[in-house]
Amino acid sequence: MKTVAVVGGGVIGLSVAWRLAARGCAVTVYDPDPGSGASHVAAGMLAPVGEAYFGETELVALMRESARRWPAFAAELTEQAGLDVGYRTDGTLLVARTDDDLAELNRLVRWQASLGLTPQPLRASELREREPRLVPRLRGGAFVADDRQVDPRLVVRALRSLVRVEARAVTDLSTVDGDVVVVAAGCASAALAGLPVRPVKGQLVRLRGPVALRAVIRGYLDGRTVYLVPRADGEVVVGATSEERLDGAVTAGAVLDLLRSAVELVPDLAEYELTETQAGFRPGTPDNAPIIGALRPGLVVATGHYRNGVLLAPVTADAVADLVTGGPDADLVKPFGPDRFGGRTG
């Protein structure tokens, strides 16, 4: 039986540990505070195209493959843990306020269509039929039925219940035992394994009210974008900023912008309780794609998932399990190996 040490217990490390344990490995996750990193902040959108930039073809393919695996991943996890993970299939409403916003939105819709997806263009009146609480003055939009969402905090809770965790920080990889060590420490992977991972700050707010929105809403408002991610219990996650900053402060300006955009889209949200303001760090890489592969024999890395770590968790976990125990899914991450940066380190 192989012993595996997973350093980092966010959504990536815990998913990897769960999948490796299912292959019969003896797995220990090392993390002083599992689930406290980016995974605690993430909105949980599983949007394989909405969250990718134009042209990131290989990354989009990986994201779509992971999205395809999410239903089975969520079902298995829910069943094994006996805990809900908030998996929802209500899709995303894209909405635009001005002609320029609509032009921007339509660029995304055309790109999605070119990838074989079928976003459905909607007039303002049709948008409001789908979500009556949207503001009346909108230029138009679209409905993306393929987008899904989960609650990352519930996913982490379920995964934690199924894997062995040792609550300690690892500062030197030689201090953990295992036939294989997997580094999945998010932004901290830079220092631990010398990888070009940098923190990209994201601020968001959480609101809570009596009625849940019907779908995720992504708004284009005078050149700004904002998303509203509803949970079944009336929570709405409003996000997010993207800042090349290292401080973890929640700023008045960011909260102001997020709340203003949210209320401009759905005026009723002004009456909701403001329950949380948060800043987290996305583990970003030079080409926005994750770093998954063997760094040397016995050392595998799975990090740099940037804006899509929740979405990419199933495919990452399956690929790492195959890298460690052998199997075809290892091929899926060949384009994302650590060697692609030519020895460049963080």
Ligand X SMILES: Cc1cc2nc3c(=O)[nH]c(=O)nc-3n(C[C@H](O)[C@H](O)[C@H](O)COP(=O)(O)OP(=O)(O)OC[C@H]3O[C@@H](n4cnc5c(N)ncnc54)[C@H](O)[C@@H]3O)c2cc1C
Interacting residues with ligand X (CB under 6 A): 7-13, 30-39, 41-45, 169-171, 184-186, 188, 192, 202, 204, 239-240, 280, 282-283, 303, 305-311
Closest CB to ligand X among residues 130, 148: 148
Smallest gap from Cβ 124 to ligand X, in A, equals 26
Closest CB to ligand X among residues 45, 135: 45
Inter-axis angle of helices 309-325 and 11-22, nearest 10: 40
Closest CB to ligand X among residues 37, 119: 37
Task: Supply φ then ψ for residue 197, to 5 degrees.
Answer: -110, 130
Smallest gap from Cβ 123 to ligand X, in A, equals 27
Cβ atoms of 290 and 327 within 8 Å: the answer is no
Cβ atoms of 260 and 315 within 8 Å: the answer is no
Cα dist from 62 to 17, 146, 315, whole Å? 20, 15, 8
Smallest gap from Cβ 24 to ligand X, in A, equals 23
Closest CB to ligand X among residues 31, 318: 31
Asked if the bond preceding 145 is cis, omega within 30° of 0, the reply is no
Q: For 265-299, b where at least 16 C-beta lie within 10 A, e where not — what string?
A: bbeebeebeeeebbbbbbbbbebbbbbbbbbeeee
Cα dist from 224 to 66, 92, 96, 235, 322, whole Å? 28, 17, 10, 22, 41
Closest CB to ligand X among residues 125, 275: 275
Smallest gap from Cβ 242 to ligand X, in A, equals 8
Closest CB to ligand X among residues 12, 135: 12
Smallest gap from Cβ 254 to ligand X, in A, equals 11
Closest CB to ligand X among residues 91, 283: 283
Sign of the torsion angle spanned by Cα atoms 11, 337, 240, 310 = negative
Smallest gap from Cβ 27 to ligand X, in A, equals 14
Smallest gap from Cβ 279 to ligand X, in A, equals 8
Q: For 159-184, b where at least 16 C-beta lie within 10 A, e where not — what string?
A: bbebbebeeeebeebeebebebbbbb
